[in-house]
Amino acid sequence: MNTFRYSRLAIGLFTIALFLPTACSAADLFQFRNGFWINLHHYLYAEALAQGTNVNPRWQASARAALEHAPCSAFAADEQRDWNEVVKLYEQSFSSRDPLFDQELLAVNRALGSADDRGSAPISISNPLRGQLQRAADAYRAHCWPAHQRANALWIAALGPRLADHGTPIAKRLSEVYGEPWPNIVVDVVTYSNWAGAYTADHQITVDSLNPDYQGDSALEMIFHEASHTIDDGIIKQLSAAFRKLNSDQPNGFEHALIFFTAGALTQTELRSSDPEYVPYAYRLGIYKRVPFWAEDEQLLQQYWQPYLQGKHSRQAAIESMARAIVGEDTKASGARTVDDEVAAAIRAVLDQQVSAWNRGDLDAFMRGYAKLGELSFYSGSTVTSGWEQTLQRYRTKYQGAGNQMGKLVFSDLEIHVLAPDAAWVGGRWQLEMTDGKRPGGLFTLIFRKLPEGWKIVHDHTSS
């Protein structure tokens, strides 16, 4: 195989009847791709995040770190001018959007991942994005791509022996654990994917090659972590059914904690001979301690899920035990949390995101906390505003119009009361700190509803 010509390293595809066949080799697990167009797109996205003025600070920090690891050689003046204009358009269009949860960006990723490096940008990419990619392509190809292509190829090459030695048994165990056959998976390797270092949609993984946390044996664990998202439908359904049986909702994010735990535990077990000191990714980076409720979840996974991984009892028994412990019906479990706790945590996360967005001047991101519905209502004084677009325009006029400022927003004295499994009442105080020293503020009452896209505000009554 001409391994790196046209920047493709293919590690096969395969078809299976049930779980991973014992005769299947590591070369059949993933198809790795090192493509020009998808790398250009993600690098422009990183540039937009790094240079943006109204960007999520965590996203911006991750992008700036990636750019430090993947610099380009000097552009000519006209190339730099065109490049800067394209980055500005990316900032305007994409810097507040996460490629994992944005359907347009996911479609772009699929098209660019399979594009021919030697041709033009895919015709399936609509303008103006296709035109901007074409505009930036020559400069990227000349000044960035040789080094980026090489870095991606080196990452793939470093992972190859680990997959050859350990990939088949880990994949086989994951298939058994989740009760799903191993699918065809493509892996697009880029210098920057998103703030997390990798993301998966459908059967396409996009992963950073230069992220320090995705090197060595951690790269092996995390490629299987991402692959787990392609075979987790069944386990998610089983978890949901177990919680419904207890008249409860499955906690937000619990299945992701389970995926972290499972990929880490299986990788650690597989590496016990070659790397006996290996520490799974989530423990090494303190993820269980940082994410709300995950410390408690980790304890339950150790208590009930780890024995399942060791073959001591069934998957269904483990799932039902964890659900009972979380809901509070297992008297042996400590730290059981209520549905109200979960709702409150989810709503606080929405409000925290709104404060962060407001304080960086990003009204579009702030408005993501509101339901994008015509029925949205906003009461303030004697004024009633109906509809999402109308509410956004009201904010823009009042706080971004000529002579106005947004100030620094603070919420305090929050009270959250769950009214129903899909409804909650929230009360609190708001205050703005203005540059002129003024501190306007007042009270607010919010009604939240749980929609398919998460908890959103459907009614806002704010007073001064």
Domain membership flag for residue 220: no
Tell me the CATH number at 354: 3.10.450.50
**pLDDT for residue 1:** 32
Q: How confident is the model at residue 334 (pLDDT cuts 50, 70, 90)?
A: very low
**pLDDT for residue 2:** 33
Together in a domain, 204 and 56:
yes
Give the dihedral sign, CA 301/303/309/315. Answer: negative
pLDDT at 73 over 90: yes
pLDDT above 70 covers a percentage of the chain that reads: 92
Together in a domain, 138 and 51:
yes
Domain membership flag for residue 225: no
Cα gap 144→40, rounded to integer Å: 9
Q: Are 301 and 257 in contact (CB under 8 A)?
A: yes
Together in a domain, 171 and 245:
no
Mean per-residue pLDDT, 80-98: 93
Domain membership flag for residue 400: yes
Together in a domain, 187 and 236:
no
Q: How confident is the model at residue 10 (pLDDT cuts 50, 70, 90)?
A: very low
189-240 pLDDT, tens digit each: 999 999 999 999 989 999 999 999 999 999 999 999 999 999 999 999 999 9
**pLDDT for residue 36:** 97
**pLDDT for residue 148:** 97
**pLDDT for residue 140:** 97
Together in a domain, 103 and 198:
yes
* Domain's final residue, options 275, 310, 337: 337
347-400 pLDDT, tens digit each: 988 998 899 889 888 899 999 999 988 889 999 988 899 999 999 999 999 898
* Domain's final residue, options 320, 337, 354: 337
pLDDT at 339 over 70: no
Look at 40-49, 54-63, 210-219, 261-270 and tell me which has the smallest mean pLDDT.
54-63
Domain membership flag for residue 221: no
Together in a domain, 206 and 245:
no
**pLDDT for residue 26:** 54
Mean per-residue pLDDT, 159-168: 96
Cα gap 41→119, rounded to integer Å: 15
**pLDDT for residue 422:** 86
Together in a domain, 112 and 198:
yes
Together in a domain, 190 and 242:
no
pLDDT at 166 over 60: yes
**pLDDT for residue 37:** 97
pLDDT at 313 over 60: yes
Burial of 389 (0-12, 13-18, 19+ CB in 10 A): exposed
Higher pLDDT, 216 or 8: 216
99-157 pLDDT, tens digit each: 988 899 999 999 999 999 888 998 889 889 999 999 999 999 999 999 999 999 999 99
Together in a domain, 39 and 142:
yes
Mean per-residue pLDDT, 90-95: 92
Q: Are 209 and 244 in contact (CB under 8 A)?
A: no
Together in a domain, 66 and 82:
yes
* Domain's final residue, options 337, 357, 374: 337
428-457 pLDDT, tens digit each: 999 998 888 888 999 999 999 998 888 999
Domain membership flag for residue 317: yes
Tokens 């978890």 correspond to: 239
Together in a domain, 323 and 353:
no
Full-model pTM: 0.70
**pLDDT for residue 119:** 84
Q: How confident is the model at residue 337 (pLDDT cuts 50, 70, 90)?
A: low
- The whole-chain average pLDDT of the chain stands at 88
Domain membership flag for residue 273: yes
**pLDDT for residue 133:** 96
**pLDDT for residue 329:** 58
Cα gap 297→383, rounded to integer Å: 45
Domain membership flag for residue 118: yes
pLDDT at 16 over 50: no
- What the block records as the tokens of 101 is 């949860």
**pLDDT for residue 100:** 87
Q: How confident is the model at residue 323 (pLDDT cuts 50, 70, 90)?
A: very high
Domain span at 99? 5-175+183-212
Domain tally, the chain: 3
pLDDT at 11 over 60: no
**pLDDT for residue 18:** 31
Together in a domain, 206 and 118:
yes
pLDDT at 22 over 50: no
Domain membership flag for residue 454: yes
